[in-house]
Amino acid sequence: MGRFSSAVSTFDRPRAPGSSEPDWLTLGQAAKYLGVAQSTIRKWSDQGRVPAFYTPGGHRRYRRGDLDKFLESSGPSGREQVGPTLLVVDDDPRLREYMRANLELEGYTVLEAGSAEEGLQVLESEQQPQLILLDVMMPGTDGWEMLQRIQERHGTIPVIMFSGKVDERSEEEARERGATGFVGKPFDPQQLIERAKQILPT
C-alpha cells in the first residue's frame, strides 16, 4: 500500500495558521467540492484520474490540492483537447461543469453555452461542434426553438436533447422535431456519455 499508508498519518495534522479549510477531504466532501456524485469520484479514483489515499479503516481521503489540479486540467484553461468537439447548452453552470468533466475524461473537446442565444453564437464561431447536447427548458429561447434555428442555419449537426420533464411524449417530440436523441434529466451522466459516443466516437 506504499504511498497510501505513508499519507495516513497526515490526516490528523493541524491546519496551517489562518487556514479555514481542511487540507484533506472525505469522499462526500470531495464529491461536493468537484460538483459530482460520490460514485463518479470513486470511479475516477479507481481509474487513477483523481489521487486517493486511505485511512487505516479503508476510508478514502482526498487532498484539496489534487482536486484543484484535477479541475484545472479538465477545464477550458487546462490541457489542450484534441478529441471530437461537443457543445453543451444549459443554463445551469454546475450541470455544465459536471457534464464537461465527464466528457473531457472520455477524450472530447467540450464547448459550453449558458443560453440558446449564447449557443447560437458559438455555432457562428470558427470552432464548429460535431455534436450538440441541448437542454429543452431554458429561460428566453428554449431548446426546441434553438433546435429549429440549428437546422435552418447549420444543416444536420446531430443534437441530443435532454429535459427535467421525462415522459414518453418528450422523447417522441424530440424525434419528430429532428433531434438525434433524447435523455431525461436528472440523468446518469454515463448514459449521456454512451449516447454521445454512439453518435460521435472519440
Contact 172, 200 (CB under 8 A): no
What pLDDT score does 17 carry? 42
- HSE (CB half, 13 Å, CA atoms) of 199? 22
What pLDDT score does 81 carry? 46
What pLDDT score does 79 carry? 43
- The reported pTM is 0.61
Q: In what order do the strands lie in the sheet with 85-89?
A: 109-113, 85-89, 131-135, 159-163, 181-184
Q: Which domains does the chain have, with CATH numbers?
A: 22-73 (1.10.1660.10), 77-199 (3.40.50.2300)
Give, for all 202 residues of the chain, the pLDDT tens digit.
Answer: 333 333 333 333 334 344 455 689 998 898 888 877 787 788 888 877 888 998 888 889 999 998 888 877 765 444 444 578 999 999 988 888 888 888 888 888 899 999 999 999 988 886 789 999 999 888 888 898 999 999 888 878 999 988 877 666 778 888 888 999 888 866 666 777 788 889 988 7
